[in-house]
C-alpha cells in the first residue's frame, strides 16, 4: 500500500514546534504529564467545550492544514484510551448517585473529537473514530490509507491522540505517560509534494514489542531520521513502513 505524507504535526507538553520535535527525535525523553495547548485559533466560547484530548487533536489537526483545507479532507481520529479519565469521573458520579455533567457526558464517547472537528470546519466528508489497543496508531494509519484510496479526490487527515490514564489504572501500567497528539495529511497522488511511503503487513511470530514511547511518536522519530524502514510488531502481525522518497 502506497501513500504520500504531505505534512505532519505533533504536540506534547513543552514540545510544540517542528524545531522542538526535531530536537526531541534526536534525544527522546519522557515529557511532563500535564498540559494542554492554548489553541488560540478556536474562539474561547467553543474552546471551553473541548476536553484536553480534543484540544490536543485540534491543535495538531489545524497545524497540519492550510486555509480552508479542513472542509475538504477525509479524517481518521485514533486513540488508545479515548476519554477514559472523563468516563471514570462519570462512573464515580453514578456510583455516588450524583448528577452527571452534560458536558462531560457529551465528551465520553470516541467520536467526540470528530464531531467537534466537523462542526468547526463545516466538513461533511467521511470520518472514522477508532481504537486498536496498543496498535491504535497502526490501525489508524491503515484506515487512513483505505479512506484515501476509497476517496482519492481528497486527502485524508490522520490524528492520533492520547492522555495518561488515571491513577486508578496504574496497576496495569498502560502507556502513555504523558499527553501527546500527532497528525499526518496523507494523499493518494504520487506526484504530490511530500514523503512517499509504502506500508506492508505480514504475519509474524513475534507477539508484541515494548516501545519506550507511543507508536505515533516512534513513527515521527523515524520520519525525521535518515532510516528508510520502520517495523512494528503486534499480535503476530508485522507492520513495515518504507520511505520511497523524501
**The pLDDT value given to residue 168:** 72
Give residue limits of the domains in the chain. Answer: 2-194
**The pLDDT value given to residue 132:** 87
Residue bearing cell 504536540 = 11
Convert the pLDDT of each residue in 186-196 to its tens digit: 998 776 789 99
Convert the pLDDT of each residue in 147-157 to its tens digit: 999 988 899 99
Instruction: Reduce the DSSP state of residue 200 to 3 states and report it.
Output: strand
pLDDT at 109 over 80: no
pLDDT at 31 over 80: yes
pLDDT band at residue 83, thresholds of 50, 70 and 90? confident
**β-pair partners for 237:** 203, 234
Convert the pLDDT of each residue in 117-148 to its tens digit: 999 999 999 999 999 888 899 999 999 999 99
pLDDT band at residue 207, thresholds of 50, 70 and 90? low
| Structural class in CATH, domain 2-194 | alpha beta
**The pLDDT value given to residue 105:** 67
Q: In what order do the strands lie in the sheet with 127-130?
A: 127-130, 74-78, 156-162, 180-187, 2-11, 195-203, 237-243, 229-234
**The pLDDT value given to residue 78:** 96
For the CA atoms of 15, 70, 176, 19, what is the dihedral angle to 10 degrees? Answer: -20
For the ranges 26-35, 78-87, 167-176, which has the lowest average pLDDT?
Answer: 167-176
CB 51 within 8 A of CB 179: no
Amino acid at each position: 500500500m502506497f501513500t504520500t505524507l504531505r505534512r505532519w504535526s505533533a504536540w506534547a507538553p513543552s514540545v510544540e514546534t517542528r524545531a522542538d520535535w526535531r530536537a526531541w527525535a534526536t534525544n527522546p525523553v519522557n515529557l511532563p504529564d500535564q498540559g494542554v495547548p492554548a489553541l488560540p485559533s478556536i474562539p474561547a466560547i467553543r474552546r471551553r467545550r473541548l476536553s484536553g484530548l480534543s484540544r490536543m487533536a485540534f491543535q495538531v489537526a489545524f497545524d497540519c492544514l492550510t486555509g480552508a483545507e479542513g472542509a475538504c479532507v477525509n479524517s481518521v481520529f485514533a486513540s488508545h484510551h479515548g476519554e477514559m479519565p472523563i468516563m471514570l469521573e462519570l462512573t464515580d458520579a453514578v456510583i455516588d448517585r450524583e448528577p452527571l455533567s452534560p458536558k462531560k457526558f457529551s465528551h465520553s464517547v470516541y467520536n467526540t473529537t470528530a464531531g467537534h472537528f466537523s462542526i468547526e470546519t463545516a466538513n461533511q466528508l467521511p470520518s472514522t473514530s477508532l481504537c486498536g489497543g496498543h496498535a491504535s496508531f497502526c490501525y489508524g494509519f491503515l484506515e487512513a490509507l483505505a479512506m484515501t484510496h476509497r476517496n482519492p479526490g481528497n486527502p485524508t487527515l490522520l490524528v492520533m491522540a492520547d492522555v495518561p490514564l488515571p491513577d486508578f489504572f496504574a496497576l496495569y501500567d498502560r502507556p502513555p505517560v504523558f499527553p501527546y497528539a500527532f497528525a499526518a495529511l496523507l494523499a493518494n497522488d504520487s506526484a504530490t509534494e511530500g514523503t512517499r511511503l509504502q506500508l506492508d503487513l505480514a504475519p509474524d511470530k513475534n507477539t508484541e514489542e515494548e516501545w519506550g514511547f507511543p507508536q505515533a511518536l516512534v513513527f515521527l522519530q523515524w520520519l525525521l531520521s535518515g532510516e528508510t524502514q520502520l517495523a512494528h510488531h503486534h499480535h503476530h502481525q508485522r507492520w513495515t513502513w518504507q520511505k520511497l522518497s523524501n
